Amino acid sequence: RGPALQNPAHTTATRPPAMPKLVLTYFPVRAKAEALRMILDYGKVEYEFVVTGGEAYGKAKAEGAFPFDQVPVLDVDGERLAQSGALARYCAKLAGLYPSDPLAALRTDEIFEMGQEMSGLNPIVNVFTGEVFEAKKAEYLGGFPKKAQALAKRLGEKKFFCGDEVTYGDFSVYHVFDLVLLLDDKALADFPTITAWMGRVAELPGVKEYLQKRARCVGVGTAPRME
């Protein structure tokens, strides 16, 4: 049984009785698989993480190994599935992080999708360099305060975006703010409630351990890579 979700509907999220064998495949970057891994680690859901890229990825893609020719992909008992949002919701259900009540589900979906909407910084941190990086960074940070303010308003004085307990939407937005701080470590200076919320997420069991062991983003803007 997963954590109770505190909301007006008093919805309880439940984990399935039996867990499938999961294999998550993605590039060696901090991007679309990040929320998935945080969700699974928080929920103590066992999975194997496989890194792909370079010639191996190109060869596998040419052979039709990836649905829709992209990653991340998740193998569920041998069935390969794609699309990061769909995978996140599935993982959230396994982890007990997805409400059964439709309105409560809508609330956390809203937060998750806001994180998806703001994920244009993934290539800024992980791919772009030189003048292109500087231009994309300036453009992204220019529009960031308005979106951060909207999220701060949604958060209010709550512990997490949907109440007293974390839901999968929190991890989507955490990833975004985490990357933003790599571009500008003062980007959240005017949003103390967001900073406090990030601290709570980072201390969650399973999440804390994942954040400590994951590779670091280095060379952002010059020679981006994971170490």
What is the reported pLDDT for 89?
A: 98
DSSP 118: T
User: What's the pLDDT tens digit per position in 175-219?
Assistant: 999 999 999 999 999 999 999 999 999 999 999 999 999 999 999
Antiparallel, parallel or unpaired: β 22-26 and 48-51: parallel
Burial 48-63, CB ≥16 within 10 A → b, else e: eeeebeeeebeeeeee
Whether residue 13 is predicted with pLDDT greater than 70 in this model: the reply is no
Contact between residue 91 and residue 168 where contact means Cβ atoms under 8 Å apart = yes
Check residue 136 and give its pLDDT. Answer: 98
Comparing CA positions, the residue from 197, 201, 200, 226 lying closest to residue 214 is 226
Quote the pLDDT of residue 6. Answer: 39
Contact criterion met (CB below 8 Å) for 115 and 65: no
pLDDT, tens only, 19-67:
999 999 999 999 999 999 999 999 999 999 999 999 999 999 999 999 9
